[in-house]
Amino acid sequence: MPELNATHDPKLTSWVESANDGRTDFPIQNLPFAIFRRQGSQEAWRGGVAIGDQIVDLAGSVQAGAFSGNARAAAQAATEPTLNRLMGLGATASSALRQALSQALQTGSAAEATLKACLVPQAEAEYALPARIGDYTDFYTSVHHATNIGKLFRPDNPLLPNYKWVPIGYHGRSSSIGVSGQSFKRPRGQVKPADADQPQVQASQRMDIELEMGLFVGAGNALGEPIAIEQAESHIFGLVLLNDWSARDIQPWEYQPLGPFLAKNFASTISPWIVTMEALAPFRAPFAHPEGDPQPLPYLSSSANSAAGGLNIQLEALIETPKMRAAGGGPARITHTNYRHAYWTAAQMVAHHTVNGCNLQPGDLLGTGTLSGPTLDQACALIELTSGGKNPIQLANGEQRTWLQDGDTVILRGWCERPGAARIGFGECVGTVLASAD
């Protein structure tokens, strides 16, 4: 588990002025990674690090000789069109680069002139997926979401007895994961209305969101060699926001007996900036199962995980309907929760995923599952917020939503703040539902 060091010092400021306003997601204490290029250009995609409203071009920085030693090797790996090689170098390498960037971007740094020439304004950038995602696994780590959904799908048996013992997950599909800004056609599929004798094929009428976080795997493990929970976090490169779009009318007809399939694999959207585990060190939270619940089995338990396995990350989802867009008044918040409510931690996800010897690889993505909090206003999917479609959400402009309509944009945001630490954030994860193909 990364420890606090000089890079987290809340007193640090940067010669990039926009990093110092106390409101930016990207102060010098954050330094998240993305893959970017100038909008509309034919430039090569390459790694960058956010600072205020700017991006440090890592390819340009390496060329300019901005780094040495381990930091240079890490930055060199990040000049490629994906961050997989940087991720595979492990936490020590990205930590060396973080330390070098922190020093070079500090107020008064001798590297100012060199790095200033390597800045690209975020307003002029476009982003690609930060990694080539080989495998995507989605967990189900909110007991509140699992219970809310279970009540709707199985009223007599909402929370299955395995839930409190085993971190539930399924293997998803990586080809349809896109970066923020993604828009996708409303999916079609088999739907069976409760009162019908047989299913029909139609465009989904129950388009939903799932507010999640995604964990990018850093260094992998060899097939057959589980990752112990004590080492699990050193295999996580960092976190992004993840919207796991879901078709709630396709899902109930197909999900038994093998789990989610076409209701889930038509689109998933992630934010471009990966906030590293090291950047999150000031925002750890204790982890415990409620009294009376089964305690995690030994391979899912460690003193460090109990002391600080949780992450205090505030999360919100907002909707912007076409009418709101036309009026120019901005989006409306539909939920606000915190990642610390999860029933299983990031380290437990990694330890469980590999307990059977399954090999994780750099750039694999592990979704947390929908991160609904303990109360209904902290629910992170429309199916919960509307009680299965029965109670539409009232939006401030007079509109209602039960499910998403064509042209609706959903925006996820995440940030961390507490006294004695610099506020850091994740940027945005934005996606839009378009009309179906016919």
Verify whether residue 235 is a known catalytic residue: no
**Total residues in contact with Ca ion, by rule CB under 5 A:** 3
C-alpha angle 364/365/366, rounded to 5°? 125
Distance between CA 64 and CA 66 in Å, rounded?
A: 6
> What Cα–Cα distance (Å) separates residue 73 from each residue in 65, 90, 244?
12, 12, 34
From 51-59, 111-119, 202-210, 417-425, span contacting Ca ion (CB under 5 A): 202-210
Among 80, 208, 233, 244, binds Ca ion (CB under 5 A): 244
Q: Which of 349, 149, 376 is nearest to 264 (CA)?
A: 149
Distance between CA 134 and CA 155 in Å, rounded?
A: 36
C-beta nearest to Ca ion: residue = 244
DSSP label at residue 253: H
When asked if residue 384 is in the footprint of Ca ion (CB under 5 A), the reply is no
Token reading at 416? 């961390």
CB of 266 to Ca ion, least distance (A): 13
Q: Which residues pair with 38 in a beta bridge?
A: 125
Beta strands 33-38; 46-51: pairing state: antiparallel
CB of 140 to Ca ion, least distance (A): 7
Which residue, 80 or 210, is less far from Ca ion as judged by CB?
Answer: 210
CB of 251 to Ca ion, least distance (A): 10
User: DSSP letter string over 317-382?
Assistant: EEEE-HHHHHHT---EEEEEEEGGG-SS-HHHHHHHHHTT-PPP-TT-EEE------SSGGG--SH
From 80-88, 133-141, 214-222, 345-353, span contacting Ca ion (CB under 5 A): 133-141
CB of 255 to Ca ion, least distance (A): 12
From 52-60, 119-127, 176-184, 237-245, span contacting Ca ion (CB under 5 A): 237-245
Among 138, 233, 278, 320, binds Ca ion (CB under 5 A): 138
From 175-183, 239-247, 387-395, 418-426, span contacting Ca ion (CB under 5 A): 239-247
When asked if residue 210 is in the footprint of Ca ion (CB under 5 A), the reply is yes
Out of 145, 341, 352, 353, the active site residue is 145
* Footprint on this chain of Ca ion (rule: CB under 5 A): 138, 210, 244
Instruction: Give catalytic residues, as residue numbers.
Output: 145
